[in-house]
Structure 1
């Protein structure tokens, strides 16, 4: 699998869709219709970004899984992420019988020496830079530039306001459309570069002092 080609395909699809969304807004002759489309374009923009974030990391994880790397060679952050998600350790399990099952599964993982990293990425519909960078850090990928925090917060706030019917905070104009669409395009490029850098440097491999 040429992951660079796959990542660029994900970007191309979304760049084209963003261009079509923006064009469909600008060609409207009715101001009311244009305003409505501007507002609901934010929901589509958010969906395009969250989809890219999760799909691109899914490709990265698939790349690592195909390497058949021993768990003893995983970087400690990636190993912790992998075991935590495979065994659902973040869930508050109080049933002791489930503890027994988890212990057996952990021993089986250790005996096998190999494990597939779960590909599902759950941002819990909360793509703040802090949340995304926490996930990226666990996967040994350089995070998104923190200077983009305000813009991503704006995207999330507008998306939530529109989705939940908060009309007071759901105003969107051409300036916001341009700002957030450029944010998504630039961030897709940035994240792709960071994923490819992690692969080139084998950042997911344990550092030996």
Structure 2
């Protein structure tokens, strides 16, 4: 896969969102009443959150797809990517209904024995498991309908990035989520001052820009391989 094309995809995901947000924000110049502007910023907050979550999800998916389309053996990637690609494997060996074929009839309820049998199966399959091609499932990127800082940390951790890369922005993102939910659920009647909105918007755009850089660097330097699993 041409890395330049992948980077262009990520750039485009950020650019069109920034352009739309700029267009929507510029409509404020057509308003003269400050109360109207404050109410309008409420809708901007809802859109800002959707751009923030949408970009994060799209960028992580591009990263995953790029790794999947590289057709790498599991023994070549770092531990996080390897683990992410083994979700189905783990589900199979954690499945308590899977019984030992040797004792299924004689000892159907011996959970310890059947767990041991699944562990033996896992060890026997291990050599082949490492040689299998990595396929990371898309659901590894689960924004949980509210991309809170802790959810972003979880996704970063699963994909082998430094999980607290965006610690400095977490207060603003929590504020964005709180305000977005209040607006969406009709609990917030008042609008936003320019200063308050600008602070939240800046934090969201900074995270989007930094996430783009994080993923682009990881792709350029192939941080998903065994030599590195750190935040660039």
2:197 equivalent to 1:197: no
After TM superposition, give the deviation of residue 111 of structure 1 in Å. Answer: 8.2
After TM superposition, give the deviation of residue 61 of structure 1 in Å. Answer: 0.9
Q: Alignment length, in residue pairs?
A: 199
Q: Is the 8 A contact 1:25 1:34 kept in 2?
A: yes
After TM superposition, give the deviation of residue 88 of structure 1 in Å. Answer: 8.4
**Partner Cα distance (1:29, 1:87) in 2:** 60
After TM superposition, give the deviation of residue 164 of structure 1 in Å. Answer: 1.8
2:66 corresponding residue in structure 1? 63
2:105 corresponding residue in structure 1? none
From 6, 20, 24, the equivalent of 1:21 is 24
- 3-state SS of paired residue (2:146): coil
| Aligned-pair Cα RMSD in Å | 3.0
Deviation readout 1:131-159 (Å, 9 max, x if unpaired): 21221122123453211111111111111
1:162 corresponding residue in structure 2? 183
From 141, 145, 166, the equivalent of 1:145 is 166
For structure 1, the 5+ residue unaligned runs are none
**Partner Cα distance (1:41, 1:97) in 2:** 51
For structure 2, the 5+ residue unaligned runs are 102-117
- 3-state SS of paired residue (2:83): helix
1:184 corresponding residue in structure 2? 204
TM-score by length of 1: 0.81
Deviation readout 1:155-199 (Å, 9 max, x if unpaired): 11111111222226x642222221222222222211111112212
TM-score by length of 2: 0.74
Structure number with larger C-alpha Rg: 2
